[in-house]
């Protein structure tokens, strides 16, 4: 049982690191884009809101990207867990896929 938990943790850590790197790259790209696309006194965020402060726009964008990446991580994590749980490597007793799926849900 410890081996399957270790395997799941390793997969989740890789996915979390990848998503964090993508999030930072997206935030840097949007920050540079926002820096060059401002008017004289207004900066427009990705939410089509105007602000006089550059850091406020960066914060709004970071929150939006974080929410989006959290959803992506939840979907990816669920997919990886089911892939590992349904793998024949971890089945110690012969059981049908339907019974295994039901036992994982319950």
pLDDT digits (tens, 9 = 90+) for 4-33: 778 778 878 888 899 999 989 988 888 787
Look-up: residue for tokens 């965020």?
Answer: 45
Which residues lie closer than 8 Å to 103 by C-beta, 6 or more apart? 95
Spans of the chain, pLDDT less than 50: none
On the 0-12 / 13-18 / 19+ scale of CB atoms within 10 A, 57 is: buried
Please give the pLDDT value at position 71. Answer: 92
Please give the pLDDT value at position 50. Answer: 61
Each domain of the chain, given as residue ranges in start order, spans 2-105
Please give the pLDDT value at position 90. Answer: 64
Looking at residue 92, what DSSP letter applies? -
Predicted structure pTM score: 0.64
């Amino acid at each position: 049982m410890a081996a399957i938990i270790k395997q799941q943790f390793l997969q989740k850590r890789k996915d979390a690191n990848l998503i964090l790197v993508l999030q930072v790259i997206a935030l840097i790209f949007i920050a540079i884009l926002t820096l060059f696309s401002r008017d004289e006194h207004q900066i427009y965020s990705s939410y089509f809101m105007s602000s006089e402060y550059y850091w406020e726009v960066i914060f709004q964008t970071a929150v939006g990207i974080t929410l989006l990446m959290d959803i992506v991580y939840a979907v990816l994590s669920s997919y990886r867990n089911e892939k590992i749980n349904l793998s024949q490597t971890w089945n110690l007793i012969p059981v049908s896929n339907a019974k295994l799926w039901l036992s994982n849900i319950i």
